[in-house]
Amino acid sequence: MKRYLIAGMCSMVRLSLYCIRLNLNIAIIKMVQNSTEDNALNVTLTTTATWSKIIKTEIPRYAWDEKTRQMILGAAYYGYSLSALLGGMVTHRLGGKRVILFSLLSSSILTALIPWSAGVSSNLLIVLRVLDGIAQGLHNPAMLGILANWSVPHERSTLVSIGYFGMALAEVICNPMSVWICSAYKLGGWPLSFYTYSAFGSVTAILWTFIIYETPDEDPCISSNEVEYLKGFDTEDGEKNKKISVPWLSMLKSSAVWAVVIAYTSNVFSFTFLITEAPIFISEVLGFNLKTIGWLMSILGIAECLFGLLSGVCADFFIRREMLTILQARKLFTILSMGLSAFLLICIGFFRDNAIVCPIMLILAFGLLGCFNTCFIANVLDITKHYSSVIVGIMSCLGGSTGFIGTSLFAALLKIKNTHDQWYLMFKIIAGIQLFGLLIFLLFAKAEEQFHSIEENISKQEMKSYNSINDTSAEVVDTEE
């Protein structure tokens, strides 16, 4: 079925973009950290016997302090938050295919320039990361716009989970691969990792161009039965909606919109902090080496994959069997995701000296956050289909801002040195933010269409004119009778 191929390609896009984003979290350890292991970075590379001379390559390291490192890690989120809302508005007008293609190509090119920019100055690298964030911020609203055209209500959780699965898969693949590439000194070390993911993003962009179509009607390879099946659930004219301005006032007044926006932002704050800072926590607090860090980060990704997919399938199962309403399913998995995850993060502080229990709790807490697709992304499609990309743009704008807010807060907490107490204070802070988002969602979330008819978005003057024409027509009919 073509709709599952579409979701799979969306997942591949997420895989490419998140590999690009996550790679720096691992690579920066090799770029900065001054340790016995890093002393091996100045490596002499000897060519094979067919070469006529010996080539020596010095893999660079940089004397960045903690503040500079956090600035580099958080820079992409500045750009991400700036462009997310724009991505939603452009997607609403032009569709998601072209927006995602631009996002992929731009991010891939900018990633290939990172090794060069790092050698010039840390400020140039930060600027490049901001631009990369701008490019990546466009894709999230566009992706939900694509999935909105290819999904039906009782399959929505599953298709969204598949479409966003690539983010979790990136954590499984990227972390050990980045560790291996960054440690492969004979191949060039950490610079090679950026070139690798840049090439993968470019290949994904090519596949996206030839496989993806904006709607089922435009796809020449889809079966007529599947087209009719998908159109049977579409009660609105998407093309007319694109010509009408976005109902901003109605959105800003909607408690359902704010419920999903606040809950999503709370989730992203926790998620971004863990995925960005977890390698540093595992390295500097738990004392694990880089190879172990790579495998632990992969396990984090596997946990997120399992929880993300299972939550989507289970939610649709409960909805189809009418065991739960759509809203009940969204709230149930939000409690399991954000509530239980917050509890585990708080508990980490009580097992600070246990090198086994502490990582297990971290893995479970992170994995549970992966249910956000079933909880929030799918809920956006519950409350509006044709304006979903705009709402996700708002969500991504606010959610993206948590990336640099979190890293700035973290840098302030660690301005003296890394200590157990400072880390666990941060865990308590993000747990409290999760619980706040959970409470707001439970109180105000809805699952009914909020902006369901085109007529609601037409100006009162147009509606008045429309009604007057109908009244005149009715009078003519009465006269003739």
What pLDDT, on a 0 to 100 scale, did the predictor assign at position 359? 85
- Quick check: is 239 in a domain? no
What's the whole-number mean pLDDT along residues 86-110?
Answer: 89
State the amino acid at position 433 in one-letter form.
Answer: I
Please tell me the least confidently modeled range out of 87-91, 203-207, 320-324, 437-441.
87-91
What pLDDT, on a 0 to 100 scale, did the predictor assign at position 343? 93
- Quick check: is 40 in a domain? no
Percent of the chain exceeding pLDDT 90 equals: 21
Dump pLDDT digits (tens) for 186-230: 777 889 999 999 999 999 999 999 998 888 888 888 888 888 887
Give the largest CA-CA distance in the chain: 102
**Residue 331 reports pLDDT greater than 60:** yes
**Residue 104 reports pLDDT greater than 70:** yes
| Alpha-carbon span 78 to 81, nearest angstrom | 6
What pLDDT, on a 0 to 100 scale, did the predictor assign at position 374? 82
Whole-Å CA distances, 311 to 166, 258, 334, 375: 15, 23, 10, 9
- Quick check: is 8 in a domain? yes
What pLDDT, on a 0 to 100 scale, did the predictor assign at position 78? 80
CATH number at residue 130: 1.20.1250.20
What pLDDT, on a 0 to 100 scale, did the predictor assign at position 455? 44
Assess contact for 403 and 77: CB atoms under 8 A.
yes
What's the whole-number mean pLDDT along residues 244-248?
Answer: 74
What pLDDT, on a 0 to 100 scale, did the predictor assign at position 48? 38
Assess contact for 177 and 25: CB atoms under 8 A.
no
What pLDDT, on a 0 to 100 scale, did the predictor assign at position 216? 85
Tokens of 310: 């299972």
- Quick check: is 186 in a domain? yes
What's the whole-number mean pLDDT along residues 48-77?
Answer: 66
| Alpha-carbon span 226 to 229, nearest angstrom | 5
Residue with the larger pLDDT of the pair 241 and 318? 318
Dump pLDDT digits (tens) for 334-369: 998 899 999 998 888 777 667 788 888 888 988 888
Dump pLDDT digits (tens) for 142-184: 888 888 888 887 788 888 888 888 887 887 888 788 888 888 8
What pLDDT, on a 0 to 100 scale, did the predictor assign at position 434? 92
- Quick check: is 420 in a domain? yes
Number of residues that make up the chain:
481
What pLDDT, on a 0 to 100 scale, did the predictor assign at position 108? 94
Tokens of 125: 């690298």
Q: Report pTM.
A: 0.73
What pLDDT, on a 0 to 100 scale, did the predictor assign at position 203? 95
What pLDDT, on a 0 to 100 scale, did the predictor assign at position 27? 87
Within 13 Å, how many C-alpha atoms sit on residue 374's CB side? 34
SS3 363: helix
Which structural domain, as residue segments, surrounds residue 407? 2-35+65-213+247-453
What pLDDT, on a 0 to 100 scale, did the predictor assign at position 418? 57
What's the whole-number mean pLDDT along residues 45-68?
Answer: 56
Dump pLDDT digits (tens) for 439-473: 999 999 998 887 644 444 444 444 444 454 445 44
Dump pLDDT digits (tens) for 18-45: 899 888 888 888 888 554 344 433 333 3
**Residue 322 reports pLDDT greater than 80:** yes
Dump pLDDT digits (tens) for 399-421: 777 766 766 777 676 655 556 77
* Tally of domains in the chain: 1
- How far from each other are the two terminal CA atoms of the chain, in whole angstroms? 53
Packing angle, helices 326-334 and 290-320, rounded to 10: 160
Tokens of 451: 């902006």
DSSP state of 113: T
Residue with the larger pLDDT of the pair 75 and 460? 75
- Quick check: is 240 in a domain? no
What pLDDT, on a 0 to 100 scale, did the predictor assign at position 403? 66
Task: With cut-offs at 50, 70 and 90, classify the pLDDT of residue 435.
Answer: very high
What pLDDT, on a 0 to 100 scale, did the predictor assign at position 404? 66
Task: With cut-offs at 50, 70 and 90, classify the pLDDT of residue 53.
Answer: very low
Q: b/e per residue, 393-412, with b = 16+ CB within 10 A?
A: bbbbbbbbbbbbbbbebbbe
- Quick check: is 144 in a domain? yes
- Quick check: is 41 in a domain? no
